[in-house]
Each structure stands twice: as structure tokens, then as C-alpha cells.
Amino acid sequence: MTTPRDVGLALAIISSILLISAWVTVALRVLVRRSIAAYGLDDTFMVGGLWLYTLACVFCILGSFNGLSAPKDMLAAYDNVQGRKCFLFFQIFYVSCTAPIKTSICIALLRINTKRSNRSVLIAILAVAIASVGTTVVGILIQAQPLSAFWTGKGKITDPTLILCFSYAFSAASVTTDFSLGIMPIVILRHLQMPSLIKVSLIFVLALGIIPSLATMVRLRFLTAYVQDDSIHGFAAICIYSIVEAGLGIIAGSLPALRPLLKTAPCSRSHASKSAPSKPREPSRGLLRRITTGLSKPISQRNTGEDPDFLDMIRGPAHDLIMDEAPRRV
């Protein structure tokens, strides 16, 4: 085991920070969704993605202590074996975690979608993401036979160019799907009736998924480490940008669900009390009747003036965002 330095130290620090941030964000998301009785399938997928991301970060941190960024001439044989082993398992869990993360985002967008054409586009995006993940994982698993040959060198190892091609294809699919998911909120929300300022803010929050793709594009220049003799030295940079991409994806994908937390902020309560006149609310209708009536209509035709209890019960996180901002009937 070696002491991480330079790029290896950066890898350990970045992995730790993003892992903690992702856990805090998703934990808050789950608490918020359960507190309003709206925990859904998208939340489950995001939690699953977080667990896979956690394993990827663990192997990154372990790899940084096993010479993942050390030059070959400064690396002991044991550290070289352990470093390559950590990198291989990092690849598997990193690639795998992107599927549930993007599935979660797609489900959230499907909830606020009102057009069949947009639904088809979202399903196509999800299909591309899942197909690229499955293909890349298979490519990782077949690059060495047995798999342990990747770190021991004892066995059959395929041409490194193969995994390089898989990596380029996966990166291209990631950038394409990330940008597509970032654009879809604009396409979906532009038809909904709401104040322009609110619509722009919602589009901005939902489109934050574009940011992780920037890390993917930067990572492209480091993928040549797969075909270099001293490849373990270049693996650390690949790990860093991959961890940043997936971590930001989890955080950005969970932020829209945290919007109800803004209601509890003192400044939000103060602003609401000053801007809204104090008038008695009409008696609340039966919960069963409200749910049945609301869910039987398309999103675009639902009454946005329902009381907060009803708004918390229907649909999912993205729909709650829109409905929370709508004017309430008094």
C-alpha cells in the first residue's frame, strides 16, 4: 500500500467529498418524499444508483492507496496488482450506476409530460442509456479471461483497443443522453400554464443534468491510458472525471425533489406571509374524492388551485414542483 499523492490524492479527496454530498442529498430527498407520502419509483432507482456509486467510490479510494496514479517504475508489484484490481471493479460499478440514475430522471420527466411524442423520446433516451451500459459492462467483463488476468496477467487478455472503443462509445452515449435529458424539461414545460419566472426556474433546476456531461467530455482525452504501457498511471484521471460525472448526476437529479424544503425556510415563510392576504380557506373536501378527481384528469387539465394536502398526494417530485408554484384558490 502506498500513500496517495498528486492525482491519487486528488482522487481520494474528490471521491470522498462527492460521496458524502450524494448521500446527504439523496437522504434529504427520501425524507422529503416520504414526509409528503409521495415516495415513488424514481426515488427507488436513485437510491439504487447511489449504492452502486458508493461501491465505485470505495474502489477509487482503495485504488488511490494502491498506486493507481503512480508511475510504473515507482510501483511495487503488489500495488500494481491491487491497483489494477480496484480499477476494474470501479469500472463495473461506475458504468452500472449510470443506468438507475438516468432511469430515475426519465421517470420524473415522464410524470410531468403531457404529450405522447415526448414520452416516446424519453423512452428512447432511456433505451439508449441502458443499452450502452449493458454493452460496456459486457465489454469490461470479456476483456480478460479469466477476469483475474486483468490484474495478474495470467490468462488471455484482449487487445486494449477493444475496451478503448467501448469507452468512447459509452462516453458518446452518456453525453447524448445527458444533453437530451437536459433539453427535455424545456420541451415539456413550455406548454404548461404558469408564470414565466417560475417556468424558467423549474427548467433551470431540471436541466442541471447537462453539467455532468461536461466531465464526460473532459474525460475523453484521458481514455488513451487504456492502450499505454504505463496505463495504471493514467487510470486515476479517468476515475476522477467518472466519479465527478456520476456524483453530479445524482445530486442534480435529486435537487428538484428537495424544493419542498424551501417552504420551511424562515425567509420563505416570511415572504409568503407578506405577499399573500390572510383569508379563510374553504372547507376541505374528502381526501378520497380529491385523489380520484385529480388523478382522473391529464396534468394539463388538473385544477392547480387544490389545497396543499391534495398536491402532496398526487404524482411525483417533478409534478409537485409545478403544482406547488401554482396559485391557490381561497
Interval 129-138: pLDDT, tens = 999 999 999 9
Helix (H) or strand (E) holding 318: helix 317-325
Contact between 213 and 244 under an 8 Å Cβ cutoff? The reply is no
Quickly tell me which residue has 380529491 as its cell. Answer: 290
pTM above 0.85, yes or no: no
> Is 71 within 8 Å of 220 (Cβ atoms)?
no
Chain Cα centroid distance, residue 44: 12
Task: Check the CA dihedral 92-180-176-127 and report its sign.
Answer: positive
In the chain, what are the domain boundaries? 7-261
- Predicted pLDDT of residue 308: 41
Choices 1.10.3470, 4.10.860, 2.60.120, 1.20.1070: CATH for 7-261:
1.20.1070
Q: Can you give the pLDDT at residue 130?
A: 96
In the chain the beta strands, taken as DSSP E runs, fall at 144-145, 156-157
Place of cell 420551511: 264
Which residues does the chain have with pLDDT short of 50?
268, 270-330
The pLDDT value given to residue 230:
59
**Per-residue pLDDT tens for 139-175?**
999 988 888 888 888 888 888 888 889 999 999 999 9
